[in-house]
Structure 1
Amino acid sequence: MQETKYLSHVWAQLTEDKGWITTILMLSVCMLLPVVGWIWIIGYETEWALLIAQGIEGPPERKNIDIVRCFRSGCHTVAATLSWCVILGSFLYLVLRMVSDASFSPNIDALGIINSLFHFWAVFVILSARSSIFMPVLAVVSLYVNFMVIASLRAAICRNPAAGYQAGHILGMIGRDLNGYLNISGMTMIAMFIGNIVFIALSQVAAAMILLSLGISNMVFRIFLFLMFCLPVAIVYTLISLIDYAMVGLWMRQFNEAGSAHPHL
């Protein structure tokens, strides 16, 4: 599928529903719910990507959403990619140790590995000031993230987390259409770069808001300031993640992975 225009194809499907912005906002609000919300969002994205992989065209479901099914799919995805996430987190942690100095991070220890799993964008904020290493790291992360997305979709297709750890099978798929995989990963890299810029810009605004809130005792206002920062970030990253999953699903269509899966799909 080297000739496929992945981004334009997926974007056309997403925006086919005039209420697609509502869908993004709904997912963004869910992203503000730790753990449970994240798992459900991953499951929602996975289910749409599976439909695309099956050749079913159309926007993601907005009204008749099977909440339980999405959460179950998200659990499969988390189980199928947890070890891969540990590897990614360890890599980012090592990069963080290489580029950080004592004045910036005096107390980094082994717990940083766990922290980087959930806040690896913070690593990119640090790297952004060191362009010589930032772009190579971003390229590696983009390639690896899409590897994990393939693993998560395979686990969802087979309804078995173990399918996500069949590295040989996944690498075989990539080898059969390396150009398509690199195409998607390149777009993922650009999206992450843009997301990083948004994150940095909003971080500066958040810092100003924090200074402003120090002299304000109203808790409701503080919560408002917190949401003013978190919600825009959630919207950007939700859109990036949703489109990335869909593009990988479109890429996997050529291998008929979903077509040979359990008929319950």
Structure 2
Amino acid sequence: MVTENELEGFRRDRYFARSWALLTRDKGWIKPVLLLTLAMLVPFVGWLGLLGYAAEWARLTAWGVNSAPKQKGVRVGECIASGWRVFLVLLVWGIGMGVIGWIVGTVPLLNDLLSFAWSIFCVFLGLVTIVASLRATIYQKFGAGMRLKTIWEMASHDAGGLIRIIGMQIIGGAIVGVVTFFILLTAFMSVMPHIVYVVDMFTEYDYLMSSSMRQSLIIELVTTFLSSMGPAILVMALLENFAGVLLSLLSYTAVGLWMRQFNVPLWGRDEDPLPPFLMDPREQQGSYQQPPQPGYQPAGPGDGNGSQPPAQPQPQAPAAPAPAAPMAPAPLAMPAPAPDPEPPVSGAPAPAPQSAPVEKPAQDEVPVPGEGEPLGSSDEIIEVTPLAVAPTSELPTPSEEPSAPEPPAEGDNPIEETPVPDGDVPEGGSSRQSTK
């Protein structure tokens, strides 16, 4: 069984299961399959209709639409036109593959080996031609299926996925071949005794038979063979058509699922390069966490993108009491003011001019130090001087806080995020504005 989550986005496996789930998604899914099976009895035009119907459905799948084949309101003319475009793409690619195979076969001494290797490679290229035809269907343009560089870039990026789809086709074709073989074998065994009888009559009494008797025996043999094998051949033809329709729909849809990794909605013109590729969500869980770690995750710990980003703000959260740590290096950076306040302990006017410049930054950092303690002991004055330096060095940490609302601003309630930048302004901000 395939869940709805497995049908969303791109995944690297279970192409047959997901294609089958899309095919049987709606009730009555067998109706278009049977109609296409009957359409295959119409030479050429029926085949074009099948190609166009499968390609148009796969185009929606590549766009990320999870839908079953359309049952009503099918525009037969558009399907035939789309099938004609697909046929031209397959024809041009097939001619090119045939020409290359002929050139490879003319190489002396290595022609047999190269021809065998090329025939094996053509199995893979056969699915690449489906990629080219589907790309032409997405753009509704024949030239889009002739972009060899872009198509080869897509095929070489995830050749394993195409090989899985090839395996699906090979297994499906093998099953159909085995079933048709047993049907023909059963029908042939039913007519075999009569064939043996007629052949024995020819060998034993040929010299006694007249020409008219020979003709009558031959006609009897042919009619008996057709009467016995005819229904079996008809059933076999219908079965092969039905299996061919199923394999075509599943193969094209599987290629559409495979093409989701190339971010089809972001495609530009057919000559433009491909956008950044998507990844399997199961593989993407780790890759999504890595890029934000050195960047904006510490500023927005409430985003909840993963388990690792919340762990980073924890060592940075104690950055507010961190000014106590720079106390020791701060006196080394300011050796001159340290001895000045020690002699005039009794006289407050001497340290007063030093406290005046210190109090200004201290007033800006009211929540961190005490309000009237810089005029106390000399040790406290030393503590205040690093506080004036520490906030300047740590000012980037609060300045990064306005970037935190940016990721949540994309959430459901962006209004709740607007008061955060206003609260960061100590002079003009007010609680009334934040409540708004």
Q: TM-score, normalised by structure 1?
A: 0.70
For residues 100 and 190 of structure 2, what CA distance do their matches in structure 1 show? Answer: 32
Structure 1 residues 225, 176: closer, same or farther in 2, change over 3 A?
closer
1:229 and 2:236 matched: yes
Structure 1 residues 173, 204: closer, same or farther in 2, change over 3 A?
same
For residues 70 and 164 of structure 1, what CA distance do their matches in structure 2 show? Answer: 18
Deviation readout 1:116-137 (Å, 9 max, x if unpaired): xxxxxxxxxxxxxxxxxxxx99
1:206 deviation in Å? 6.3
Instruction: Report 1 or 2 for greater relative contact order, CA contacts < 8 Å, sequence distance ≥ 6.
Output: 1
Whether the 8 Å CA contact 2:180–2:236 is kept in 1: the answer is no
For residues 202 and 92 of structure 1, what CA distance do their matches in structure 2 show? Answer: 35
For residues 221 and 57 of structure 2, what CA distance do their matches in structure 1 show? Answer: 41
Structure 1 residues 17, 162: closer, same or farther in 2, change over 3 A?
same
For residues 78 and 221 of structure 2, what CA distance do their matches in structure 1 show? Answer: 41
Alignment of 1:181-260 (within 5 A): 181-204=162-185, 214-215=222-223, 226-257=233-264, 260=267
Structure 1 residues 259, 50: closer, same or farther in 2, change over 3 A?
farther
For residues 244 and 43 of structure 2, what CA distance do their matches in structure 1 show? Answer: 15
Q: Which amino acid aligns with 1:233?
A: E
Partner residue in 2 for 1:160:
141
The one of 32, 36, 43 aligned to 1:27: 36
Structure 2 gaps, min length 5: 1-9, 103-116, 196-219, 270-436
Alignment of 1:146-157 (within 5 A): 146-157=127-138
For residues 266 and 57 of structure 2, what CA distance do their matches in structure 1 show? Answer: 15
For residues 74 and 242 of structure 1, what CA distance do their matches in structure 2 show? Answer: 13
Structure 1 residues 208, 237: closer, same or farther in 2, change over 3 A?
farther
Q: Which amino acid aligns with 1:246?
A: T
Whether the 8 Å CA contact 1:80–1:163 is kept in 2: the answer is no
Deviation readout 1:150-209 (Å, 9 max, x if unpaired): 011111112222222222211100122222222222222222222332343344456568
1:55 deviation in Å? 0.6
* Identity score, percent: 31
The one of 147, 169, 175 aligned to 2:156: 175
Q: Which amino acid aligns with 2:245?
A: T
3-state SS of paired residue (2:16): helix
Alignment of 1:28-107 (within 5 A): 28-86=37-95
**How many residues matched?**
221
Structure 1 residues 7, 261: closer, same or farther in 2, change over 3 A?
farther
Deviation readout 1:6-25 (Å, 9 max, x if unpaired): 11111111111221222221
Deviation readout 1:36-63 (Å, 9 max, x if unpaired): 0000100000000000001111110112
For residues 209 and 26 of structure 1, what CA distance do their matches in structure 2 show? Answer: 32
For residues 144 and 209 of structure 1, what CA distance do their matches in structure 2 show? Answer: 42
For residues 21 and 230 of structure 2, what CA distance do their matches in structure 1 show? Answer: 36
Question: What is the alpha-carbon root mean square deviation over aligned residues?
Answer: 3.5
Structure 1 gaps, min length 5: 94-135
Q: Which amino acid aligns with 2:252?
A: Y
Whether the 8 Å CA contact 2:12–2:258 is kept in 1: the answer is no
The structure with more radius of gyration: 2
Partner residue in 1 for 2:20:
11
Whether the 8 Å CA contact 2:187–2:229 is kept in 1: the answer is no
1:92 deviation in Å? 9.8
1:223 deviation in Å? 7.1
More helix per residue: 1
For residues 53 and 16 of structure 1, what CA distance do their matches in structure 2 show? Answer: 17
